[in-house]
């Protein structure tokens, strides 16, 4: 009977000692990982510069009859050169 108690107590001691070693190693690994956070800092992201909103061109933006005629003439001329359908996306006034 004494042999059984002796081997049982040795087994419990070895088990507890092994569990302590495992948790110590886990603690060391956690400490190393936490310290790497301070050694290798993440690069800062550059600021995102927002571009001002540009209103899309609409037919209501045509304020002058000359602007309308210029757009029509330009679209007809482009159609005659390319023989493709034409869609005017923007009209800019040149001074």
Do 55 and 95 sit in the same domain of this protein?
Answer: yes
Predicted local confidence at residue 29, as pLDDT: 97
Confidence at residue 18, expressed as pLDDT on a 0 to 100 scale: 96
Q: How many helices (H) and strands (E) does the chain have?
A: 2, 0
The better pLDDT of the pair 86, 93 is held by 86
- In this structure, are 3 and 35 located in the same domain? yes
Q: What is the pLDDT of residue 63?
A: 74
Domain tally, the chain: 2
Are 38 and 64 part of one and the same domain?
no
**pTM score above 0.85:** no
- Does 40 score more than 80 pLDDT? no
Share the mean pLDDT of the chain: 83
Longest dimension (CA), the chain: 114
Check pLDDT > 90 for residue 42.
no
Say if residues 71 and 91 touch (Cβ distance below 8 Å): yes
Helix (H) or strand (E) holding 30: helix 2-39
In this structure, the answer to whether residues 10 and 38 fall within a common structural domain is: yes
Same domain, 26 and 56: no
- Give yes or no for a contact between 86 and 79, defined as CB atoms under 8 angstroms apart: yes
Q: Please indicate, yes or no, whether residues 2 and 26 belong to a single structural domain of this protein.
A: yes
> The domain containing residue 92 runs over which residues?
50-95
Q: Answer yes or no: do 54 and 93 share one domain.
A: yes
- Span 84-92, average pLDDT: 78
- For residue 52, pLDDT beyond 60: yes
Supply 30's token pair.
């956690």
pLDDT at residue 84, rounded to an integer: 85
Residues 58 and 85 in one domain: yes
13/37 same-domain check: yes
Question: CA–CA distance from 36 to each of 24, 33, 58 (Å)?
Answer: 19, 5, 56
Note whether 86 and 69 are same-domain residues. yes
């Amino acid at each position: 009977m004494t042999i059984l108690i002796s081997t049982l107590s040795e087994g419990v001691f070895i088990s507890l000692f092994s569990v302590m070693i495992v948790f110590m190693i886990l603690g060391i690994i956690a400490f190393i990982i936490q310290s790497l956070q301070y050694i290798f800092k993440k690069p800062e992201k550059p600021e995102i510069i927002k571009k001002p909103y540009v209103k899309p061109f609409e037919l209501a933006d045509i304020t002058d009859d000359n602007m309308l005629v210029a757009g029509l003439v330009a679209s007809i001329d482009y159609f005659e050169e390319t023989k493709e359908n034409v869609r005017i996306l923007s009209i800019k006034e040149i001074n």
